[in-house]
Structure 1
């Protein structure tokens, strides 16, 4: 059997990682290059000229034009951190180099920090991934399916009405022959009704995208949003998952549920599903570029606004 070129590609080994990011100075230099690739720019006015000074051991940059003061970490997801950057970088490497997801509990053991710290660190990383995936639109041929996270609670509602289930849409863009997946979007929806699917299609499907889906009634809204739509007919069972036009979305959905079920004992779907699903999509969409995973994610994190503990805890899957 031929080797899977995704699974067997050369990634960033621990030896290579330590050589590139093994000290605090190397981490700071890497962050500076990623945040300001053309040299320091004032976050307030984009001015290029600055003076530097130290206060309580921290290096500050002061813009000569507007006098705004900033540090390397201020205004980023790293702001106000008490952890060494080497710990942050190691966490990012661990979270991106594993074949499957890594729970905060396992991350805690690798880093030697408290569970609370590991949870906060992981959710900040996932927040940056989520923000990076927010503007993504799929084009060309797009396979789409509906699914749920979570199971039924004892004494609660059964089936799709369970309070512990979170509905989400999973979509995979493929090549013209429907043979190879390229990008994916995995996002929670309030429910599978016309309004939710219309909103999802307008945000996530490019105007020229052609949708392939099963016969779920709400998916017929794709035609109303101006997208070509093919409804796949099958006899159900295993054949339904392998039909041309649905195979890759079902493969990704199966891998997603296996990965989440194996890595996480439990999490609050109604609050954090958007982050966990965005993490899966972020990893999938960059699966062919494993050696670049760490610098690309670091770039996303320096562009991500600060995410303090209350913000992380108060998250919901929907803004309104």
Structure 2
């Protein structure tokens, strides 16, 4: 039996990676080519003529025209990093070649760094993936479906609209033969007409043919100039729905990835980054060797993002919870404390909320230092 060409492509082995990027000088040269493929350009005045000041890790490029100095990592995701470039490149390699995803904890063990360092590396590289794919809309025939991140919890509303789940849109563009081309996974605030219309305007090319199930809000894709072809699926099984074969396959693969690699993921906070990373790898599945090169270039050309920026973006989604969601969150934390566990999430409640005082008082009374709790 012949092997599948995509599944069994060689990719880049660890020995080959180390031979190409195992030294700091090799990584520095590769990063220079990724940032300035046509030669150095001053980020302030775009003049090419420059001096090289210093050497090694302290090497600076000084523009001859405006005298502006910049380093190799300034303005990139590696800005102000204290890690060697070899560690960055190894992290990029491990994340790009892991088909089923790689958690920050696994990255910590592979790199030999602390967990906070591995987590920040992971989030920054994922943000480069998200920004790169987020700027490319889907076109042609697009299979569309609704999905949720999150599992069952006691109480609350089941199914669609549950406060325990995070909604996202799965869309796959297919070619003339019906094979998948590109995938896009995007968090949405809700499955409403306005949310889907906004998503379609940012994610679909006008004139695309969108095939979806009978969910009413998907009709809003026409606001983005697309043609909508709904199909009521009723109680049919996925295998009986050829028009949705690839979007269902992608959702199944995503479920396997999240369940196998990530065991303590806050979907509402960071789900968007992990969805984007999955889609990024899928969209470049035909060339695993090129996937590494693409990600190095994307990391080099993505603007710097700090840990505070990442946290603020996550908290923006976290603080958008409804009153019922906050009550459930507070109840979960109370239960955790009663069992002697540390609460998973402790944040400042949104200002101006009528229910801020009682929950804030609960925080002040319930959260005590771990050392003062009985073991």
Deviation of 1:146 (Å): 0.3
Structure 2 equivalent of residue 188 of structure 1: 187
> How far apart, CA to CA, are the structure 2 residues paired with 1:105 and 1:283?
20
Deviation of 1:156 (Å): 4.4
Structure 2 equivalent of residue 75 of structure 1: 75
Deviation of 1:203 (Å): 1.1
- Which segment is superposed worse, 271-280 or 51-60? 51-60
Give SS of 1:132's match.
helix
Structure 2 equivalent of residue 148 of structure 1: 148
Structure 2 equivalent of residue 88 of structure 1: 88
- Which segment is superposed worse, 305-314 or 210-219? 305-314
Matched, 1:257 2:268: no
> How far apart, CA to CA, are the structure 2 residues paired with 1:120 and 1:291?
25
Answer with 1 or 2: which has the greater Rg: 2
Q: 2:11, 2:289 within 8 Å by CA — same for their partners in 1?
A: yes
Cα RMSD of the aligned pairs, angstroms, is 1.9
Deviation of 1:221 (Å): 1.4
Structure 2 equivalent of residue 225 of structure 1: 224
> How far apart, CA to CA, are the structure 2 residues paired with 1:29 and 1:65?
24
Structure 2 equivalent of residue 309 of structure 1: 307
- 1:224 and 1:310, CA in 2 relative to 1: closer, same or farther beyond 3 A? closer
Deviations 1:261-296 (CA, angstroms, capped at 9, x unpaired): 111012222221111111011011001010112211
Structure with the larger RCO, 1 or 2 (CA within 8 Å, 6+ apart) = 1
Unaligned stretches of 5+ in structure 1? Answer: none
Q: 1:153, 1:162 within 8 Å by CA — same for their partners in 2?
A: no
Matched, 1:111 2:114: no
Bigger share in helix: 2
Deviation of 1:318 (Å): 7.0
Deviation of 1:150 (Å): 0.8
* Count of residues paired in the alignment: 318
> How far apart, CA to CA, are the structure 2 residues paired with 1:27 and 1:243?
48
Deviations 1:200-230 (CA, angstroms, capped at 9, x unpaired): 1111111121001000000111234331221
Give SS of 1:34's match.
helix
Q: 2:204, 2:224 within 8 Å by CA — same for their partners in 1?
A: no
Unaligned stretches of 5+ in structure 2? Answer: 321-375
Structure 2 equivalent of residue 200 of structure 1: 199
Give SS of 2:54's match.
strand
Q: 1:188, 1:317 within 8 Å by CA — same for their partners in 2?
A: no
Structure 2 equivalent of residue 123 of structure 1: 123
User: Which residue of the other structure, out of 256, 265, 284, is the alignment partner of 1:267?
Assistant: 265
> How far apart, CA to CA, are the structure 2 residues paired with 1:130 and 1:159?
28
- 1:242 and 1:107, CA in 2 relative to 1: closer, same or farther beyond 3 A? farther
State the TM-score, normalized to the length of structure 1: 0.94
